């Protein structure tokens, strides 16, 4: 995936870069683009903080456009920003080594929790076993640590359902989490790339329009993690106690779009954005993931591969056999539990997909009646991510 701004997901041409003056004493002026981005493009009046160091367009470039000279203070700046949203651009965006992974799914499907857990697992454990490391771009680590990480690992409680991007007034809500990763594949050279996570609200999945940031994010992603809440399936709820259902769920499923409706919407958007005809399959790899494996653990057959621990990290390589066995297990359970509409869609529309099942919180760690948990000890959360990295030839 080349040259896409990791903040607003607009196409970004390095030749049309802009630069922000780095001189703290230089004149400051209102930054409309930055303000629009922060406030979610909903036309609020400019707050005072919008007064920022100025941004210089291409006419101030020096040389090949790797810097610009500020017309006010004449100081050279290398601080490259996106022309559309004025956020800083990571080096890897210029060299086309970004990888946008989108996490989608209906309301309450576990996206925020999954993202919160997978990031910690990657930086603490998974990358280590693959000889890699990861660090946040700009204020990413701070935003993550003070946000969903604090909620899940310090307060041991559940995040609120994510507020629609249209209604949200939290400035950070519109900022994706951007991590640079260094990875040594098996016996290969060190690779550095940037991975972008953006926490979408399930509420927005129904109303996606072609202009929205969420749409660009999905259509431009190098991999899609599609979370399916098993409890949203009537066939599953029928097999569980009311208490099991209540602890891992905070919505009424009757008035929510299901996984089938969401994937149909996502498909339509990708087709529109990429101008793909209805006869062509979409080649973005899709990991269709059962989230919340823990409350349905006992519905799995004896000897199930899915209930065993993930083998990839201890093997230090991606175990294709294991992936296939898990995928087959989940596929047949989905059909059994009445999600045939979903599996048929995947099969007819996407050329590369695989089924997974994870528990972000861990087996036996469903939230209690106060939404409290013990320290997360996730089950197989890394599997979909490692598969997408493999499909993108990173590992």
> Looking at residue 18, what DSSP letter applies?
E
Establish if 250 lies at the interface with ligand GTP (CB under 6 A).
yes
111 or 331: whose CB is closer to ligand GTP? 111
Q: Which stretch binds ligand GTP (CB under 6 A): 13-21, 198-206, 209-217, 338-346?
A: 198-206
The DSSP code for 350 is B
Per CB under 6 A, which region of 32-40, 199-207, 208-216, 320-328 contacts ligand GTP?
Answer: 199-207
Strand order across the beta sheet in which 190-197 lies: 133-136, 177-184, 190-197, 98-105, 223-228, 286-290, 353-357
Torsion of CA 385, 389, 390, 393, to 10 degrees: 170
Work out which of 269, 361, 389, 394 binds ligand GTP, going by CB under 6 A.
Answer: 361
Q: What are 165's two structure tokens?
A: 């991007």
Query: What is the C-alpha radius of gyration for the chain, rounded to an integer number of angstroms?
Result: 22
Alpha carbon distance 306, 293 (integer Å): 9
Smallest distance, Mg ion to C-beta of residue 291, A: 11
Q: Which residues pair with 191 in a beta bridge?
A: 183
**CA–CA separation, 104 vs 299, rounded Å?**
25
Q: Which does 8 bind (CB under 5 to 8 A by kind): ligand GTP, Mg ion, Zn ion, none?
A: Zn ion
CA atoms of 245 and 132, how far apart (whole Å): 38
Q: Which two tokens stand for residue 219?
A: 């259509």
Residues between 45 and 104 that touch Zn ion (CB under 5 A):
70, 72-73, 82, 84-85
- Contacting residue, 202, 223, 258, 285, with ligand GTP by CB under 6 A: 202
Q: Which is nearer to Zn ion, 5 or 201 (CB)?
A: 5
Contact status: 366 vs ligand GTP (CB under 6 A): yes
Q: What distance in Å separates the CA atoms of residue 134 and residue 132, rounded to the nearest whole number?
A: 7
- Name which of Zn ion, Mg ion, ligand GTP, none residue 5 binds, using a CB cut-off of 5 to 8 Å depending on partner kind: Zn ion
When asked if residue 201 is in the footprint of ligand GTP (CB under 6 A), the reply is yes
| Cβ atoms within 10 Å of 23's Cβ, excluding its own | 15
Closest distance between Zn ion and the C-beta of residue 193, in Å?
Answer: 18
Pick from 108, 140, 212, 213 the residue near ligand GTP by CB under 6 A. Answer: 108
Closest of 119, 121, 156, 154 to residue 137, by C-alpha: 119
- DSSP letter for 106, please: S
Find out whether 12 and 194 touch, Cβ atoms under 8 Å: no
Of 83, 176, 223, 295, which one interacts with ligand GTP (CB under 6 A)? 295
* Minimum CB distance to ligand GTP smaller for 69 or for 245: 245
Q: Point out the residue whose Cβ comes nearest to ligand GTP.
A: 202
- Contact letters (x/-) for Zn ion, 4-43, by CB under 5 A? -x-xx------------x-x--x-----------------
Q: Which of residues 344-383 bind Zn ion (CB under 5 A)?
A: none
Burial of 388 (0-12, 13-18, 19+ CB in 10 A): buried
Here the tokens at position 239 are: 């097999």
What track of x and - describes contact with Mg ion for positions 157 through 186 (by CB under 5 A)? -----x------------------------
Helix, strand, coil % (nearest 5) of the chain?
35, 20, 45
Size of the site for Mg ion (CB under 5 A): 3
Closest CB 145 distance from ligand GTP, rounded Å: 18
Please provide the size of the chain in residues. Answer: 395
Phi-psi group of 222: left, alpha or beta (phi > 0 → left; psi -120 to 50 → alpha; rest → beta): alpha
Beta bridge partners of 69: 76
Check residue 112 for interaction with Mg ion (CB under 5 A): yes
Q: Closest approach of Cβ 252 to ligand GTP, in Å?
A: 13
375 binds ligand GTP (CB under 6 A): no
- 85 touches which of ligand GTP, Zn ion, Mg ion, none (CB within 5 to 8 A by kind)? Zn ion
Task: Report, in Å, the least distance between residue 236 CB and ligand GTP.
Answer: 13
Contact predicate 313/126, CB 8 Å: yes
Give the binding site for ligand GTP (CB under 6 A): 105, 107-113, 158-159, 161-162, 201-203, 248-250, 291-292, 294-295, 359-361, 366-367
Give the binding site for Mg ion (CB under 5 A): 111-112, 162
Give the binding site for Zn ion (CB under 5 A): 5, 7-8, 21, 23, 26, 70, 72-73, 82, 84-85
């Amino acid at each position: 995936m080349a040259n896409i701004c990791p903040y607003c997901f607009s196409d970004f041409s390095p030749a049309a870069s802009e630069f922000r003056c780095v001189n703290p004493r230089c004149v400051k002026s209102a930054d409309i683009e930055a303000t629009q981005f922060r406030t979610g493009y909903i036309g609020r009046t400019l707050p005072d903080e919008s007064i920022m160091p100025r941004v210089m367009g291409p006419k101030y470039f020096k040389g090949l456009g790797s810097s610009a000279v500020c017309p006010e203070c004449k100081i050279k700046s290398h601080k490259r920003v996106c022309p559309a949203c004025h956020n800083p651009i990571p080096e890897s965006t210029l060299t086309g080594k970004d990888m946008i992974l989108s996490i989608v799914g209906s309301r309450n499907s576990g996206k925020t929790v999954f993202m919160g857990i997978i990031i910690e697992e990657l930086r603490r454990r998974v990358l280590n076993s693959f000889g890699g490391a990861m660090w946040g771009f700009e204020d990413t680590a701070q935003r993550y640590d003070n946000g969903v990480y604090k909620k899940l690992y310090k307060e041991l409680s559940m995040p609120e359902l994510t507020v629609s991007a249209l209604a949200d007034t939290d400035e950070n809500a519109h900022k994706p989490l951007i991590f640079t990763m260094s990875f040594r594949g098996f016996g290969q050279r060190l690779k550095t790339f940037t991975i972008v996570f953006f926490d979408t609200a399930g509420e927005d999945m129904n109303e996606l329009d072609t202009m929205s940031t969420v749409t660009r994010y999905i259509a431009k992603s190098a991999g899609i993690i599609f979370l399916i809440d098993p409890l949203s399936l009537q066939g599953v709820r029928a097999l569980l106690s009311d208490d099991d259902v209540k602890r891992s769920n905070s919505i009424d499923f009757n008035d929510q779009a299901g996984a089938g409706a969401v994937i149909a919407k996502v498909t339509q958007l990708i087709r529109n954005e990429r101008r793909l005809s209805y006869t062509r399959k979409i080649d973005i790899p899709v990991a269709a993931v059962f989230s919340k494996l823990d409350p349905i653990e006992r519905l799995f057959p004896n000897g199930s591969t899915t209930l065993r621990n993930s083998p990839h990290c201890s093997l230090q390589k991606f175990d294709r056999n294991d992936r296939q066995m898990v995928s087959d297990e989940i596929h047949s359970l989905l059909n059994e539990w009445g999600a045939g509409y979903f599996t048929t869609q995947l099969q007819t529309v996407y050329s590369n997909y695989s089924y997974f099942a994870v528990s972000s919180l861990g087996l036996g760690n469903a939230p209690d009646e106060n939404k409290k948990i013990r320290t997360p000890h996730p089950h197989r959360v890394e599997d979909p991510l490692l598969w997408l990295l493999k499909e993108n030839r990173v590992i």
